[in-house]
Amino acid sequence: MNGDIDKLIKFIAKYFPFDEKTYPELKGANKEKHLIFAIRHSAIHFAKTAGKIAAVSEDADHNRKIKIGELKENTSKSLINTLRLAELLNMSEDDLISAIEKKFGKKMD
């Protein structure tokens, strides 16, 4: 790839820091506790975003108009959540692509 995902990972990490200023609970936390908090907090964001997508879907099941704009917003939030977690785990663009190719058993064209 051309490094755009790596740039996006760094961009997201810059604007969504896991630091003491943003999360007072991290004050004095060692590296392991910091990572555990960040992973747990990321999981909360994943759940929150998935819930919003589920709510739109459930509304559509009841014959309400599907809110495409809300789905688009939460799709990008899902990507932000994924790439923020990737950064926490020291995963690069190449690591992500490799894992996806392995999952599908095929190389990207």
What pLDDT score does 109 carry?
Answer: 83
Does 1 or 67 have the greater pLDDT score?
A: 67
Cα first-last separation, the chain: 11
Would you say residue 2 has pLDDT above 90? no
> Are 26 and 19 contacting, i.e. CB atoms less than 8 angstroms apart?
yes
Rounded Cα gap, residues 22 and 77, in angstroms: 19
Q: How confident is the model at residue 103 (pLDDT cuts 50, 70, 90)?
A: very high
Across 10-22, average pLDDT: 96
Rounded Cα gap, residues 24 and 22, in angstroms: 6
Across 78-103, average pLDDT: 97
Q: Delimit the domains of the chain by residue range.
A: 4-104
Tens of pLDDT along 31-75? 999 999 999 999 999 999 999 999 999 999 999 999 999 999 999
Is the C-alpha dihedral spanning 14, 20, 21, 23 positive or negative?
positive
pTM value is: 0.90
What the block records as the tokens of 14 is 């810059």
Tens of pLDDT along 88-98? 999 999 999 99
